[in-house]
Amino acid sequence: MNSISFGQTFNSLASALAQPEKVVVLNLSGKNISALPQAFSQFTKLQTLILNDNEISEFPSQILSCTNLKVLQLTGNKIKQLPKEIAVLQNLEELEIGFNELSVLPEEITAIKKLSKLNLTHNSFSSLPESFAQLSQLTILDLSYNLFAALPNAVLQLPNLKTLDVTYNKELKLNNIKAGNLPMLKLLQLKGTAISDSETLKLNYVIPDCLLVF
Q: Please tell me the distance from the alpha carbon of residue 67 to that of residue 60, in angstroms, as a whole number.
A: 14
Beta carbons within 8 Å of 107's beta carbon, 6+ residues apart: 84, 129, 130, 131
Cα–chain center distance at 113: 13
CATH tag, 125-214: 3.80.10.10
CB 12 within 8 A of CB 24: no
pLDDT of the residue at 22: 95
pLDDT of the residue at 4: 44
- 36-52 per-position pLDDT tens digit: 999 999 999 999 999 99
Task: Answer yes or no: same fold for 1-123 and 125-214.
Answer: yes
Structural domain boundaries of the chain? 1-123, 125-214
- Predicted TM-score (pTM) of the model is 0.95
Q: Please say if the pLDDT value at position 164 is more than 50.
A: yes
Q: Please say if the pLDDT value at position 148 is more than 90.
A: yes
Q: How many CB atoms lie within 10 A of CB 208?
A: 8
CATH tag, 1-123: 3.80.10.10
- 190-201 per-position pLDDT tens digit: 999 999 999 999
